[in-house]
Amino acid sequence: MARTPVPSDLTAAERRVFGGANAVEVSGLHKAFGSKVVLNGVALSVAEGEVLVIVGPSGSGKSTLLRCIARLVPITAGQIRVGTTVIQEGAVGWRRSRQIARRSRSLRGEVGMVFQHFNLFPHKTARQNVAMGLRLVRGVSRADADTAAVELLTRMGLTDHLEHHPGELSGGQQQRASLARALYNGRPVLIGDEPVSALDRVQGAEILSRIASRHGTIIVALHDIVLALGHTDRIVVLDSGRIVLDAPSRTLTAADLVAYYGG
């Protein structure tokens, strides 16, 4: 299917998003694992302060796209820019390899990521998991980081679980702790791979609303199209490694998304 153009009847708020500076730009992105092509020429721009949701069928490349942007996996070809850091594959040689490695470290410093599998440190409590990120990323003192961690986890509904280790928390509670750690680590771009998968729809909507209210640029992959339509500026549908739909959320319905990939 051809990519759907952005409509011209944008609201004032949408014009600020679509017409403003881009926090993330992806062009000509290809990613293959051996002979299997997962991303095939993806081009995507995300404005500063925009909340973008990526949806699509299983195996469409959603998680791989997010991991490429966060530089958790190398790209096969193309270019990615996050902030002022540009990663471009294609050139060879040890100097080029060192340059890419240096820029990859810089790019990761711009991006916070919420993983589908939480990745909390099992030997640390929920409070310690969040406080450690504040200390290491933002340089907050230990006392201030602990105070902030308690406040953040309380806002996530974990007041009674501050000193519990991940093994003592349910899947939904671990996900809330993981979100608290990522949302407030000071990085300008937040990427989430199914960040509310362990929550029911009501809880997921609540957390997505909090994510959307965060100051910064948000890119999340979701499988629940109802949630995707509820708290976002724009929706992109990925299918077979290509973008087949790109439009403001307010212009779409669940039926539109189902028509593209079966929801």
Q: Which residue has the tokens 């961690």?
A: 149
Residue 191 parent element (H or E): strand 189-193
> Is the confidence at residue 103, as pLDDT, over 70?
no
Query: Confidence band (pLDDT; 50, 70, 90) for 17?
Result: very low
Distance (Å, whole) CA 103 – CA 105: 5
Q: Residue 233 gets which letter from DSSP?
A: S
pLDDT of residue 44: 94
The pLDDT of residue 225 is above 60: yes
What domains can be seen in the chain, in order of their start residue?
1-49+58-110+228-263 (3.40.50.300)
Task: Give the angle 207-208-214 at the CA atoms, nearest 5°.
Answer: 95
Indicate whether 16 pLDDT > 50.
Answer: no
Tell me how far apart the alpha carbons of residues 188 and 208 are, in angstroms, rounded to a whole number: 17
Q: Show the tokens assigned to 217.
A: 């640029």
- What's the mean pLDDT in 125-138? 84
Q: What average pLDDT does range 138-152 have in this prediction?
A: 85
Only one residue has tokens 């998991």, namely 129
pLDDT of residue 148: 86
> What does the pLDDT look like over 68-99, one tens digit per residue?
988 888 889 998 888 777 776 654 444 455 66
Alpha-carbon torsion angle 71, 75, 77, 78, nearest 10? -30
Determine the Cα–Cα distance for residues 212 and 206; give it in Å rounded to an integer: 10
Q: Which residues contact 254 (CB under 8 A, 6 or more apart)?
A: 225, 226, 229, 263
Q: Reply yes or no on whether the pLDDT at 240 is more than 70.
A: yes
Tokens of 8: 């011209």
Instruction: Report d(CA 157, CA 172) in Å as an integer.
Output: 11
Q: Work out whether strand 234-239 and strand 85-88 pair parallel, antiparallel, or are unpaired.
A: unpaired
What is the pTM assigned to this prediction?
0.74
**Amino acid in the structure at residue 261:** Y
Beta bridge partners of 54: 221, 236
Q: What is the pLDDT of residue 55?
A: 92
Query: For residue range 177-220, what is the model confidence (pLDDT) as tens digits?
Result: 887 877 665 567 888 888 777 677 777 777 777 777 665 788 99
- In this predicted structure, what is the pLDDT of residue 179? 79
Spell out the residues 6+ positions from residue 250 whose beta carbon is closer than 8 angstroms to its own. 11, 14
Q: CA dihedral defined by 36, 40, 45, 49, rounded to 10 degrees?
A: -30
pLDDT over 90 at 242, yes or no: yes
Using 50, 70 and 90 to split pLDDT, how confident is the model at 106? low
Residues 69, 191: Cα–Cα separation, whole Å:
9
